[in-house]
Structure 1
C-alpha cells in the first residue's frame, strides 16, 4: 500500500484527500518508484480547479518526482537506458506524483542527476522543459538579447541558465527582491512597472530580438509587442487568449507540439544538470501530508524558489 493525494472534487487543494492506494507490480514497460520528493507546480492545482472535458474524478495529483526504483518490469529499460532496482531516477509527466510510491511507464523515467538533491531533481523537468521550449520557438541565437518577463520565477530562472549556455543575453523583469536572483543566474535585471519599455531600451539600445512571457500580465505582453516587431518571436506560457488575439506564440504542455518537444529535451536537461550548468533553486520543502499548505504558499506568489513534498 502507498499514500497518494487525490482530487475527489473540483476545487481547491483543501478538497483533496490523502488516501491509501494499491501500487501494482510493474509489467513490461513499467517501473515502480519509491518517491523521495515530489515537485510542486501551479498546474497541480490548476488542472483540477474546475471541470474539464474528458477528465473524471477522483484524480491523482502530481506530475514529477524523484526517487529510487524498487521494481522493474520484465525486459524493461527507462528513457535514459538500462535500469535496476536501487537506481536513483526522476519521472516527468506522470500522474499521481504526490505519493509515497507509484508505478509508472518506464519511458517517463530518466536517471537522476547526481549533482542535484531529490527535492531539486523533482522540480527539474517541468520548468526546465518549458524554458527550453520558450527559447526554441523564439529561435534564440548566440549574441542576441532577449526580454524575459518573470525572470526570477521557476521557469524564468531555467530560461536564464539555458540562455547562458547558448550565449544569449537576457534582460529579465523582476521585483526589487527578485533582482539578485536574476543576476545570480546570468541575467540583467530590470524592474517591472510603469516605464518598463524605456528601461529596457536603455539596457538594450540596439533592441531586443525576442520576448518571453512567463507571467501573463497586460504589461508584459504590451511591452513585448512594443519592443519586438516580429510577433513570431514573442511567446507566452500564461495568456493563450491574448496570444490568439495578437498573433503571438502560445505554448503549453497540453498541446501536442509542446508535449513532443518537452519529451525530446528531457535528456539534454538532465545532462546539463549533471554538468553543473542547470540548477534548481529551492525555497522550502513540506511533508507529503501538508500538500494543501504547500499549494497555498505557492499561490501567494514569489516563493523565492521551488517547493517539494517529502514523503
Structure 2
C-alpha cells in the first residue's frame, strides 16, 4: 500500500483525506517514482472545487492532489528508455503528486541535476516551466519593461527572475506584505487595487511593453489598460478574460526539454526557486490552505520522508 492525499468529491477542504491505496503500476512510457517532494499550486485547490482543464479527461474519485513532483525511480514501464531504477527525476505526474508513490510520463520527466534538492526540483514542472514558457512567448528584447501581476507567487517570482535574466526591466504587482520579497527579486514593487494603471505609469513614464498576468480579474483588466497592443498581454491567471481583452493565455510547451532548461537555469544561479514553506505529507491539508488562502510567498512544498 502507498499513502496519498486526495479529494473524494468536488467541494471545500472537508472533502480532503489522507488515504492508503494500492501501489501504482507504470504503463507504457511511464515511471513509478517514490516521491520525495511535491509542489503545491493554486490549480490543486481549483480542481478540488470543480475546475476542469480544457480538453482534459476527468479523473475518477478519489483524486490525488498535485501536478508536480520529484523522486526516485522504482519501476519502469514498457518501452521506456533513458531512465533506470534509482534515477532521481522530476516531472508532471499522471495522476497526483501528493503521495508516497506516483507515475511520471517520460514525455514530461527529466533527470534531477545533482546540485538541486528534491524540494527545488519539485517546484519546477508547473511554476517555473509556466514562467519560462510565458517569457519566451512574449519574446521581449533587452531593455523592455514588463509588468508581472501576482509577482509574489510561485509562477510570478520565477517570471520576474527569468525576464530579468533576459535583460528586461520588471515591475511586479503584489500585496504590501510581499513588497520586500518582490524587491529582493530585483523588481520594482507596486500594489494592486484601484488606480493600479496610474501607479504603474508613474513608475514607467516610458510605457509598459508587455504584461504577464497571474492574478486575473480586476487586476488583469486594469493592467490591460497600460498596453497599446493587446497582443502583448498574456495570462496564466484568467484565460477567458485575457482572450476577451485581446490577449492570449500562456502557451504551455509541457516537454521534458523545458524541464531540462529550467533546471539548468537553477544550477547556473539564474533562477532561485524560493521554496518558503515545507510540510510533511501528513500535513498536506495545511500546505494546501497556505496556498489557497493566498498568503504564501514563493513556493510551498510537501516533503515525503523515506
Is TM more than 0.5 here?
A: yes
Partner Cα distance (2:163, 2:170) in 1: 7
1:226 equivalent to 2:225? Answer yes
Q: How far off is 1:69 after superposition?
A: 1.5
Tell me what 1:71 maps to. Answer: 75
Alignment map for 1:93-172 (pairs within 5 Å): 93-172=93-172
Q: Is the 8 A contact 2:151 2:173 kept in 1?
A: yes
Gaps of 5+ in 1: 252-257
Partner Cα distance (1:113, 1:135) in 2: 23
Residues 53-79 of structure 1 deviation map (CA, whole Å, 9 limit, x = unaligned): 8523232221111111222346523xx
Gaps of 5+ in 2: none
1:262 equivalent to 2:261? Answer no
Q: How far off is 1:216 after superposition?
A: 1.2
Runs of 4+ in 1 over 6 A off after TM superposition: none
Partner Cα distance (1:29, 1:243) in 2: 35
Q: Is the 8 A contact 1:116 1:279 kept in 2?
A: no
1:236 equivalent to 2:240? Answer no
C-alpha distance 247-116 of structure 1, shift in aligned 2 (>3 A): same
Partner Cα distance (1:245, 1:25) in 2: 43
Residues 173-215 of structure 1 deviation map (CA, whole Å, 9 limit, x = unaligned): 1223312222222212223334332332232221111111111
Partner Cα distance (1:301, 1:210) in 2: 25
Tell me what 1:255 maps to. Answer: none
Partner Cα distance (1:51, 1:134) in 2: 22
Tell me what 1:42 maps to. Answer: 42
Q: How far off is 1:8 after superposition?
A: 1.6
Q: Is the 8 A contact 1:10 1:49 kept in 2?
A: yes
Greater mean deviation of Cα atoms: 4-13 or 203-212 = 4-13
Greater mean deviation of Cα atoms: 111-120 or 32-41 = 111-120
Is the partner of 2:35 in helix, strand or coil? Answer: strand
Partner Cα distance (1:47, 1:25) in 2: 24
Residues 9-59 of structure 1 deviation map (CA, whole Å, 9 limit, x = unaligned): 111233123222222454553222111111111111211312758523232
Q: How far off is 1:271 after superposition?
A: 1.3
Tell me what 1:84 maps to. Answer: 84
Greater mean deviation of Cα atoms: 148-157 or 9-18 = 9-18
Tell me what 1:307 maps to. Answer: 300
Q: How far off is 1:262 after superposition?
A: 3.0
Q: How far off is 1:287 after superposition?
A: 1.5
TM-score, length basis structure 1: 0.88
Aligned length: 299
Partner Cα distance (1:300, 1:129) in 2: 23
Partner Cα distance (2:167, 2:152) in 1: 19
Q: Is the 8 A contact 1:61 1:96 kept in 2?
A: yes
Is the partner of 1:86 in helix, strand or coil? Answer: coil
Residues 236-276 of structure 1 deviation map (CA, whole Å, 9 limit, x = unaligned): 2222332232222123xxxxxx34x1325222112111222
Q: Is the 8 A contact 2:72 2:89 kept in 1?
A: yes
Tell me what 1:207 maps to. Answer: 207
Tell me what 2:184 maps to. Answer: 184
Is the partner of 2:176 in helix, strand or coil? Answer: coil
TM-score, length basis structure 2: 0.89
C-alpha distance 244-31 of structure 1, shift in aligned 2 (>3 A): closer
Is the partner of 1:66 in helix, strand or coil? Answer: strand
Partner Cα distance (2:78, 2:63) in 1: 28
Taking only aligned residues, the RMSD between alpha carbons, in angstroms, comes to 2.2
Q: Is the 8 A contact 1:138 1:232 kept in 2?
A: no
